[in-house]
Amino acid sequence: MKKTTLTLALFALTPFSILASGQNPLKVTEKSLPIPVHASQEVQNTLAVLPAPLNSGSVKAIAVPSTDGEWKAHISEFNHPTEVQGRQAAKDLNVKYGVENINGVEIYTLTPANISEKNANNLFLHIHGGAWIYGGNDALLREAVVIAHKLQMPVVSVNYRKAPVHPAPAALNDIITVWNSLLAERQADSIMMGGTSAGGNLTTAATLRMRDLGMPLPAALFIGTPAADVLKNPDSRFVNDGIDALLGTWDGLIEASVELYVGDLDPKSPYLSPVYGDFTGFPPSILVAGTRDLMLSDTILLHRAFRDAGSHADLHIYEAHSHGFYMLPGKDRTNFYAEMNNFSDAYIGRYNDITPTKVTVTFKLEDILLPESK
Amino acid sequence: MKKTTLTLALFALTPFSILASGQNPLKVTEKSLPIPVHASQEVQNTLAVLPAPLNSGSVKAIAVPSTDGEWKAHISEFNHPTEVQGRQAAKDLNVKYGVENINGVEIYTLTPANISEKNANNLFLHIHGGAWIYGGNDALLREAVVIAHKLQMPVVSVNYRKAPVHPAPAALNDIITVWNSLLAERQADSIMMGGTSAGGNLTTAATLRMRDLGMPLPAALFIGTPAADVLKNPDSRFVNDGIDALLGTWDGLIEASVELYVGDLDPKSPYLSPVYGDFTGFPPSILVAGTRDLMLSDTILLHRAFRDAGSHADLHIYEAHSHGFYMLPGKDRTNFYAEMNNFSDAYIGRYNDITPTKVTVTFKLEDILLPESK
């Protein structure tokens, strides 16, 4: 039997200083991942039919647009199927929607067929995802419609300005503008805010901005598989590279989108990368990700940071989910929205028995918006 | 610009039935994992010095013992450094311990230098880890001492019988025997039970058994990176193969240990693989794992199953932690035990203001122990 000294040392968690210098970075050999038997049937079915280009090499092979015109065409092509899905979902789930304008920011207002009595005075402020460049216009309906339907709550979704035409902090300013307008007409405590991916990033960053400004904060946050760091730092960017079936890899398209969004600003600003934020006084939050998710690390890092700052934060991780798989129709989506319902009941339900009183104040826009380049 | 139709289809989560048949299993190419910058300094230091044999190829190269004598020697060699550490931890942290015998089962009783007033009537029942073969005798002190010290609570740790000499269900019977004895002298509600790895498996399985027997249940459970399935089914067994710096891979030594433990029993029995269990009526639980953990999937699957059964369950995941890394001294250990302290306060603290009343009954051992092979 071969000497097992090294394994012994590891299992025993002995002082690592006595070990020989290691393999840094760690080399991981080629491997095969079978269909995960404990994943939901929908995830198993999805993984069974996903085409080969999902591994990182092939995603990397997709050309990154290089001119403004190419980006515009690419974003338009990319958004199209999601827009079709969003409009279809609104029809299927009987959610009515309209488009309005608040202080120059376009918002979608969504009204589900049934608004539960407890949510009569409540509102969900939705921040859509899409790497800060995709997912706007009717494409934002896909998630917003499901939220309105599942929570039986009115939704306002911010069609914030996006890169490459409008880099940061335009999106943040649009969210803050809408927030400020909402405060003029209702109590902050009656609003839950949230979204997925870039929407999770912007939800967290905008709440940091509101906190820093001394504004009243939302009653609760939903933070879905957020990009908490705009740089390729979180460990799951590497561990799940070529494994996340939705995104494949951070390199290439996503990285290019991030660069367009960040522009000349500091990527380590908490308003851009909330993972560097201080979350003192943050509202309660519900976070979700998957084990095959490129943003798994981002999600668990924010969960820890929220809790370490003394806020209530609940973490939900789903087996073999790639980025945003909880939005796939099926068992896991039903399951997660049940959690979200219980969560919203617990944190905005407190105000259901009383008529909301407007104790909030609005701020002058010129005092609260971040400087934008002209 | 290359056609992006496939990515479009994926990002939009279009009906997957229209996609071409995929790569199944998914092939993941060789990759390098840098030191994760968002991991705690201790984890970064640990990963920087870990030796090359940690990747799966080399761990697999460690010979599996083939005779009873070889196993005995291997286990003894494996346990030795942990025993030394456990005794040293008891000395360093000023935790006194003794060894007793309850109905034929050996237990360690641990008393920290300070017992907090709120925990004067409380007890932590510790179930050690070690793949159902390692981790017994003084090796169990390593985790038990830290629990006693951090929670400022007396600990009883069960030195349950282990494979290969005693396959399942001997360990379960020993835990149930101790539980039954504790019920004769104190209220179940004053006891928190838990442990790590195989200890998390046994904690869950034993609680299922108690629930099925109609016994009073612990006030709360601590379930640390459990092996919830004794077969290689959870997805993180594959995704984190060669990445988990503590275990390296499921194949080889661990698989062989599991086979010794399971013996002729059905590996899908919830008493062996709790992932198949129904958790109706389960106590509140706190679960922990890491993103590089071979048992990440097991942990999140149990978290979901507990919540889906209507129990309270809190999930904590740490950046770039391999299996059991939260036991490493440092920031993350301090952080996790702070969570565990708050959790135990919330769920066994309810009884601190009243003198516990023995409302419990004890069962006849012959009625509650599972049949063992002679």
What string of DSSP letters covers A213-225? HT----SEEEEES
Q: What is the C-alpha to C-alpha distance for residues A130 and A142, in angstroms, rounded to an integer?
A: 12
| Contact between B31 and A242 using a beta-carbon 8 Å cutoff | yes
| Contact between A74 and B4 using a beta-carbon 8 Å cutoff | yes
Residue B294 to chain A, least CA–CA distance (Å): 11
Provide the pLDDT confidence category of residue A101 given band limits of 50, 70 and 90: very high
| Contact between B291 and A239 using a beta-carbon 8 Å cutoff | yes
Instruction: Report DSSP letters for B277-337, one per residue.
Output: ---TTPPPEEEEEETT-TTHHHHHHHHHHHHHTT--EEEEEETT--TTGGGSSSHHHHHHH
Contacts of B35 in chain A (CB under 8 A): 24-25
- Exposed (0-12), middle (13-18) or buried (19+): which is B330, by Cβ within 10 Å? middle
Positive or negative: CA dihedral A145, A147, A149, A150 = positive
B311 within some domain:
yes
Q: What residue of B is the nearest CA neighbor of A26? A: B33
Q: What residue of A is the nearest CA neighbor of B10? A: A246
* CATH code of A241's domain: 3.40.50.1820
More confident residue, B205 or B23: B205
Positive or negative: CA dihedral A115, A120, A122, A127 = positive
Average pLDDT along chain A: 89
Name residue, tokens 């939302």.
A218
| Contact between A319 and B134 using a beta-carbon 8 Å cutoff | no
* Residues A328-352: tens digit of each pLDDT: 999 999 999 999 999 999 998 664 4
How many domains does chain A contain in total?
1
More confident residue, B11 or A283: A283
Helix B331-348 × helix B141-151 angle, to 10°: 60
Contacts of B82 in chain A (CB under 8 A): 11-12
CB–CB of A29/B242 below 8 Å? Answer: yes
Pick from B33, B229, B242: which is nearest to A25 by CB?
A: B33
What pLDDT score does B274 carry? 98
Contacts of A35 in chain B (CB under 8 A): 24-25
What pLDDT score does A107 carry? 98
| Contact between B23 and A54 using a beta-carbon 8 Å cutoff | yes
* Residues A204-255: tens digit of each pLDDT: 999 999 999 999 999 999 999 999 999 999 999 999 999 998 888 999 899 9
| Contact between A229 and B38 using a beta-carbon 8 Å cutoff | yes
CB–CB of B301/A38 below 8 Å? Answer: yes
| Contact between B234 and A27 using a beta-carbon 8 Å cutoff | no
| Contact between A85 and B13 using a beta-carbon 8 Å cutoff | yes
What pLDDT score does B163 carry? 96
Contacts of A239 in chain B (CB under 8 A): 33, 239-240, 243, 291-292
Contacts of B300 in chain A (CB under 8 A): 291, 317-319
Provide the pLDDT confidence category of residue A178 given band limits of 50, 70 and 90: very high
| Contact between A33 and B239 using a beta-carbon 8 Å cutoff | yes
Contacts of B236 in chain A (CB under 8 A): 291
Residue A194 to chain B, least CA–CA distance (Å): 19
What pLDDT score does A357 carry? 56
Give the residue ranges of DSSP H helices in chain A.
Answer: 5-11, 41-49, 56-60, 68-92, 141-151, 170-183, 198-213, 236-239, 253-262, 296-308, 331-348, 365-368
Residue B92 to chain A, least CA–CA distance (Å): 15
Decide if pLDDT at B89 tops 50.
yes
What pLDDT score does A15 carry? 35
DSSP-based three-state secondary structure for A123: strand
Pick from A49, A56, A85: which is nearest to B12 by CB?
A: A85
Q: What is the C-alpha to C-alpha distance for residues B19 and B29, in angstroms, rounded to an integer?
A: 23
Q: What residue of B is the nearest CA neighbor of A50? A: B22
Contacts of B15 in chain A (CB under 8 A): none
What pLDDT score does A161 carry? 98
Q: What residue of A is the nearest CA neighbor of B40? A: A301
| Contact between B57 and A29 using a beta-carbon 8 Å cutoff | yes
Q: What whole-number percentage of chain B has pLDDT above 90?
A: 78
Pick from A19, A51, A304: which is nearest to B22 by CB?
A: A51
A27 within some domain:
no
Contacts of A337 in chain B (CB under 8 A): none
Average pLDDT, stretch A144-162? Answer: 98
- Say which residues have a Cβ less than 8 Å from residue A359's Cβ, sequence separation at least 6: A187, A216
B37 within some domain:
no
* Residues A44-71: tens digit of each pLDDT: 998 888 764 344 455 566 789 999 999 9
* Residues B337-374: tens digit of each pLDDT: 999 999 999 998 664 444 555 666 789 999 999 999 86
CB–CB of B129/B200 below 8 Å? Answer: yes
What pLDDT score does A1 carry? 37
Q: What whole-number percentage of chain B has pLDDT above 70?
A: 87
Contacts of B81 in chain A (CB under 8 A): 8-9, 12, 14
- Exposed (0-12), middle (13-18) or buried (19+): which is B123, by Cβ within 10 Å? buried
What pLDDT score does A11 carry? 42
Token pair of B108 as six digits: 């360690």
What pLDDT score does B15 carry? 35
Which range marks the domain in which residue B191 is found?
A: 49-352
Q: What is the C-alpha to C-alpha distance for residues B190 and A196, in angstroms, rounded to an integer?
A: 41
| Contact between B236 and A48 using a beta-carbon 8 Å cutoff | no
What pLDDT score does B31 carry? 85
B193 within some domain:
yes
Pick from A22, A319, A320: which is nearest to B51 by CB?
A: A22
Decide if pLDDT at B156 tops 50.
yes
Contacts of B70 in chain A (CB under 8 A): 1
Decide if pLDDT at B267 tops 90.
yes
A38 within some domain:
no
CB–CB of B140/B86 below 8 Å? Answer: yes
Sheet holding B95-102, edge to edge: B95-102, B105-112, B155-158, B123-127, B191-196, B220-224, B285-290, B313-318
Provide the pLDDT confidence category of residue B23 given band limits of 50, 70 and 90: low
Contacts of B320 in chain A (CB under 8 A): 235, 297
B122 within some domain:
yes
Taking the alpha carbons at both ends of chain A, their separation in whole angstroms is 71
Q: What residue of A is the nearest CA neighbor of B36? A: A235
What pLDDT score does B258 carry? 97
Average pLDDT along chain B: 89
B182-220 burial, b if ≥16 CB within 10 A, otherwise e? Answer: bbeeebbbbbbbbbbbbbbbbbbbbbbbbbeeebbbbbb
What pLDDT score does B10 carry? 43
Decide if pLDDT at A18 tops 50.
no
A239 within some domain:
yes
| Contact between A315 and B316 using a beta-carbon 8 Å cutoff | yes
Instruction: Report DSSP letters for B153-166, one per residue.
Output: --EEEE----TTTS
Pick from A52, A242, A320: which is nearest to B29 by CB?
A: A242
A72 within some domain:
yes
Pick from B14, B59, B70: which is nearest to A1 by CB?
A: B70
* Residues B121-147: tens digit of each pLDDT: 999 999 999 999 999 999 999 999 999
* Residues B44-70: tens digit of each pLDDT: 998 888 764 344 455 566 789 999 999
What pLDDT score does B63 carry? 82
